[in-house]
């Protein structure tokens, strides 16, 4: 039986925290109270969805997402500030990115306004699950997928847009820096493929090398480009940066690399700090010669890379408090959590949801 719609709390300022051991919070699934669901039939536009009690979705076995992998997801966070405000970080950019992904996968999509509205509703409906300041964040996962049945022909009869939330701790617990394995066999993305969007099909094909790297004691894997196998691209779920002298470099966006929201912010902050910023093809030999390396993403924020290992040869990089990565993390986190004035206009404060 489908769950019934519940009225969204218009003010939840007096809600108590959920019964969670915040100090032990990991980055993983935690069942919360509410989710958002909207549907769109073929030839129509998405209408305003509903906040529903969190529950399993009913799905046709012949749904497009199950038969052909037609689906996208996003990831963003809600932050609780020291003075009790709730902030989102650039949710419009995630809305634009899911639209770009939907165009690539031939799907209808919600407007940016509806996307942001859904995120606000999910955050407020689950406000008691937003961790205390400094204890974590509320990770919000919007998903767009073909829910209607299809077998060998178009169009997709129905598309679903949903979003749920989980309180999470830090994605990488080790503050000393990541130790990466450079993957020399499997490739994450291919030219003219879907590497530049958050397609659900991008991730499980590289679980094998990720699992193997984890067994070997590595934190994550760094992928090389599929065309030549000579240039660095990105991690399993994060963009990559290198620093050499006063020049910060990151692989150019050319269809195989996800245009990360955090990536964009980091490039802007680096310019503010006086660094020269380049988007370019980065040969592996250039990367191995870097003074410092770090990765960025909604989950990882900014995380130093302590070392990379390529064919049993390990190369180390500078880590610690006196690094660009540490400065970027502190600056970005201060903005996201409201500890400093947001002169960039990146945060969105929410304390109640206004319909329309």
- The residues annotated with a catalytic role in the active site are 198
Q: Are 159 and 198 in contact (CB under 8 A)?
A: no
119 upstream amide cis, omega within 30 of 0:
no
**What kind and span of H or E run contains 267?**
helix 261-272
Q: Are 266 and 324 in contact (CB under 8 A)?
A: no
Q: What are phi and psi of 267, to 5 degrees?
A: -60, -40
Contacts of 150 (CB under 8 A, 6+ apart): 62, 63, 64, 67, 68, 156, 157
Compute the distance between CA of residue 142 and CA of residue 73 in angstroms, rounded to an integer. 6
Is 47 buried (19+), middle (13-18) or exposed (0-12) by CB count in 10 A?
Answer: exposed
Chain centroid to CA 265: 14
- Return the SS3 of 292: strand
- Return the SS3 of 248: strand
Compute the distance between CA of residue 132 and CA of residue 135 in angstroms, rounded to an integer. 5
């Amino acid at each position: 039986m489908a769950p019934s719609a519940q009225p969204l709390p218009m003010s939840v300022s007096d809600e108590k925290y959920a019964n969670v051991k915040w100090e032990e919070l990991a980055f993983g699934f935690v069942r919360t109270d509410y989710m958002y669901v909207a549907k769109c039939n073929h030839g129509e536009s998405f209408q305003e969805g509903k906040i529903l009690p969190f529950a399993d979705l009913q799905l046709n076995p012949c749904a497009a997402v199950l038969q052909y992998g037609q689906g996208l997801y996003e990831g963003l966070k809600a932050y609780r500030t020291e003075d009790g405000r709730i902030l989102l970080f650039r949710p419009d950019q995630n809305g634009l990115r899911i639209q770009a992904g939907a165009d690539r996968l031939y799907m209808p999509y919600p407007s940016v306004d509806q996307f942001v509205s859904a995120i606000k509703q999910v955050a407020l409906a689950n406000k008691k699950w937003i961790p205390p300041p400094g204890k974590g964040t509320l990770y919000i996962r919007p998903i767009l997928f073909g829910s209607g049945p299809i077998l060998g022909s178009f169009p997709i009869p129905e598309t679903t847009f949903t979003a749920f939330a989980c309180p999470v701790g830090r994605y990488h617990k080790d503050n000393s820096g990541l130790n990466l394995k450079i993957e020399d066999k499997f490739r994450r993305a291919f030219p003219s493929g879907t590497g530049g969007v958050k397609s659900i099909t991008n991730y499980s094909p590289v679980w094998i090398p990720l699992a193997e790297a984890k067994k070997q004691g590595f934190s994550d894997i760094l992928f090389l480009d599929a065309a030549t196998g000579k240039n660095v691209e990105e991690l399993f779920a994060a963009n990559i940066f290198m620093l050499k002298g006063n020049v910060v470099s990151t692989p150019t966006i050319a269809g195989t690399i996800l245009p990360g929201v955090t990536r964009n912010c980091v490039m802007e902050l680096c310019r503010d700090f006086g660094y020269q910023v380049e988007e370019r093809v980065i040969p592996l030999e250039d990367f191995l010669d870097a003074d410092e390396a770090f990765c960025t993403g909604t989950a990882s924020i900014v995380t130093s890379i302590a070392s990379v290992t390529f064919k049993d040869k390990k190369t180390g990089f500078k880590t610690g408090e006196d690094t660009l990565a540490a400065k970027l993390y502190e600056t970005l986190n201060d903005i996201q959590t409201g500890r400093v004035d947001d002169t960039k206009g990146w945060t969105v404060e929410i304390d109640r949801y206004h319909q329309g």
